[in-house]
Amino acid sequence: MLPFCLEPGLEACVLYKDGKWLAFNRSCPHAGIDLLVGGDIEDLSELNAGVVVGCPAHTYLFDPVVGTCLWDASRGLPETPPLQTYEVSERCGQIWVKPRPLPKPVAKEDWDQARADALQLALVDKALARKFPD
Ligand code: FES
């Protein structure tokens, strides 16, 4: 994982996880907690979600590719703004990042609270299993 600074006060990170480059702002869109200090980055492919980032403060979930908030404590359509993510490319032995456009809010008819809850529980389970293996 490589943290980088885009401008004073705006820090992001780039990492290679499960064969993909991911880059996103370190600051959680909910309340600004640093996602890299105690946060979780888990592969939830078994739920067709891919890699998901969990904030250490209130366990909100974000898609680190498009930035969508996947679960928040409103227990409904997320009110939390999306996470700024970046397109990553390798050129001439260097890593380049370019901000992705922020995703549109999820439409009410497309929201699945049961799926959101399943993702949240799966991320917490994996994080706990990793931190407390026995
Ligand atoms: S600060 Fe990240 S979920 Fe609240």
Rounded to the nearest whole angstrom, what is the distance from the C-alpha of residue 63 to the centroid of ligand 1? 14
pTM value surpassing 0.75: yes
Indicate the burial class of 42 (C-beta count within 10 angstroms; 0-12, 13-18, 19 or more): buried
- Cβ(55) – ligand 1 distance below 6 Å: yes
- Ligand 1 neighbour 33 (Cβ under 6 A): yes
pLDDT for residue 84: 97
Q: What is the pLDDT of residues 106-131, one digit of tens each?
A: 999 999 999 999 999 999 999 889 88
Q: What is the DSSP string of 28-65?
A: -TTT--BTTSS-EEEE-GGGT--EEEE-TTT--EE-TT
Number of domains in the chain: 1
- The pLDDT, as a whole number, for residue 29 is 96
**Tokens 């004073």, residue?**
8
Residue of 33, 41, 52, 123 best suited for mutating to test ligand 1, as the one with most atoms within 8 Å of CB: 33
pLDDT at position 66 over 90? yes
Q: Residue 53 and residue 67: Cα distance in Å, rounded?
A: 10
**CA 27, CA 90: separation in Å to the nearest integer?**
24
Identify the pLDDT of residue 9.
85
The pLDDT of residue 3 is: 84
Give the CATH number, domain containing residue 32. 2.102.10.10
Q: 26 CB less than 6 Å from ligand 1? A: no
**66 alpha carbon to ligand 1 midpoint, in Å?**
18
Distance of CA 113 to the CA centre of its chain: 18
Domain with 48, as residue range(s), is 2-131
